[in-house]
Amino acid sequence: MSNFTRRRVVITGLGTVTAVGNNVADTWDNIKAGKNGIGPITKLDTSVQKVKLGAEVKDYVYHDKKEARRLDLVSQYAITAAIEAFAQSGLVAGENIDANRVFTYVSTGIGGIMTLEEDIKDGYAKGFRHVSPLLVPMIIGNMVAGNVAIQFGLKGSALDIVTACATGTDSIGQAFRAIRDGYAEAAVAGGSEAPFAPVCFAGFCNMKAMNTTEDPNRASIPFDKERGGFIMGEGAGILILEEYEHAKARGANILGEVVGYGSSCDAYHITKPHPEGEGGAAAMQAAVDDAAIDPSAVNYINAHGTSTPYNDLFETRAIKKVFGDAAYKLAVSSTKSMTGHGFGAAGAIEALLCVKAIEDQILPPTINHKVPDPELDLDYVTTGARPAEINYTLSNSLGFGGHNGTIIIKKFED
């Protein structure tokens, strides 16, 4: 297939596990309702930390108890979301698609940190000969993609694309390119994260990146003048991407179309975005150019919107840099106000929510916004979900190391 031949890439399946729902329907219903998934942390002891709140997945049980013992929670979340996505898609490797032509780009930014910490504690307490022989395959990041591929018999390329908090978005973007350019017919793409391990939590606490309030309704408050840090979240988001003609030939229900992807690096600081949003703007502009649209065609941006003082300001500057006057005519929101920050899973969950926004023609809200910031003057959808004409959505993700990723998803038209 010539690299100059651009094939259409559509979305035929969605699956998710989040702090507001263990499937797509519940998650989307709660997002539209503005339900806050943030509350007191139960998965670790916070008594020695200033941060007390998190966005934990609730009432989650993996479908196979025996298999669960061999999988870190990060792989469990990914597989659960993938089962839902494949069920909706109807795609079955080896039956209605060649298994060698299905890629697996399901990634994690942090990996099996919960298993790693437990085995380190066991090693020091009981002796290191007691460390589990399953430790390595449970903690290494590539096993998320590997376990999903094994679960569904997917024999194409299987990669863990690690770009910190841009991981989920970049995984979808690279899967999009692989299908568009003829290397694959379909892909399962997204991200998963299960970071509630004491050492991981302490690291984020000690860098003072997270909000220390004990009020869940003032914890993750993107674009609010009183924002003071992000809230740790977890979960997974999975999209099934498929070449349009293949999906059409098998009568698949097409949910949306991926039309643009951009990636960049700030090359500025290990944790802080560029003050003028240069890298974020470059990723958005690259995605717009890739989609071959005018920036004014975009109706909605699901922002990275972490609720940190720097991120929300610099991302707003980046949006203005790319969209100019049109920035004031589009809607921007951060669903992290409800789901918390799921790191490697965040971009995939948010891309999925963009698909649902297009499907229902409803803008997801930014909840708990109370104090306007004069420097943040865009339409952040702060008064609840609202109906709107949505043809093009854009999802941003920014990660430590200066990584920026942007995906553009449009309403499907045959």
Could you please report the per-residue DSSP string of 31-89? HHTT----EE--SS--TTSS--EEB---S---S-HHHHTTS-HHHHHHHHHHHHHHHHH
Same domain, 121 and 156: yes
Same domain, 267 and 366: yes
Catalytic residue list contains 341: yes
Which residue among 165, 200, 205, 354 is the active-site one?
165
Q: Does residue 1 form part of some domain?
A: no
Q: Does residue 145 form part of some domain?
A: yes
Average pLDDT over residues 62-83: 98
Catalytic residue list contains 246: no
Query: How much is the pLDDT for 4?
Result: 64
Same domain, 200 and 275: no
CA separation for the pair 9, 230 (Å, rounded) = 33
Same domain, 224 and 302: no
Q: Does residue 255 form part of some domain?
A: no
CA separation for the pair 163, 251 (Å, rounded) = 35
Q: Does residue 62 form part of some domain?
A: yes
Calculate the average pLDDT of the chain: 97
> What is the DSSP pairing of strand 39-40 with strand 53-54?
antiparallel
* 220, 249, 278 - which closes a domain: 249
Same domain, 378 and 243: no
Residue recorded with tokens 């999925």: 352
From residue 220, give the alpha-carbon distance in Å to each of 127, 282, 314: 41, 26, 17
Three-state SS at 94: coil
Domain that holds residue 124: 9-249
Catalytic residue list contains 200: no
Domain total in the chain: 2
Same domain, 106 and 228: yes
Which residue among 205, 246, 274, 304 is the active-site one?
304
* 249, 277, 292 - which closes a domain: 249
Same domain, 201 and 276: no
Same domain, 297 and 214: no
* 249, 280, 314 - which closes a domain: 249
Q: Do the Cβ atoms of 191 and 236 come closer than 8 Å? A: yes
Can you read off the two tokens belonging to residue 182?
Answer: 């003829």
Which residue among 205, 246, 274, 341 is the active-site one?
341
Q: Does residue 350 form part of some domain?
A: yes
Q: Do the Cβ atoms of 242 and 371 come closer than 8 Å? A: no
Q: Does residue 123 form part of some domain?
A: yes
Same domain, 38 and 91: yes
**Chain segment 98-130, per-residue pLDDT in tens:** 999 999 999 999 999 999 999 999 999 999 999
User: In percent, how much of the chain has pLDDT > 90?
Assistant: 97
Give the CATH number for residue 201.
Answer: 3.40.47.10
Q: Does residue 2 form part of some domain?
A: no
Q: Report whether pLDDT(402) > 70.
A: yes
Query: How much is the pLDDT for 5?
Result: 83
Same domain, 281 and 240: no
Long-range contacts of 322-326 (CB under 8 A, 24+ apart): 322/281, 322/284, 322/285, 322/288, 322/295, 323/295, 323/296, 323/298, 324/295, 326/295, 326/296, 326/298
Same domain, 398 and 337: yes
Q: Does residue 3 form part of some domain?
A: no
Length of the chain: 414
**Chain segment 168-212, per-residue pLDDT in tens:** 999 999 999 999 999 999 999 999 999 999 999 999 999 999 999
Same domain, 112 and 192: yes
pTM: 0.97
Q: What DSSP state is assigned to residue 369?
A: -
**Chain segment 264-292, per-residue pLDDT in tens:** 999 999 998 899 999 999 999 999 999 99
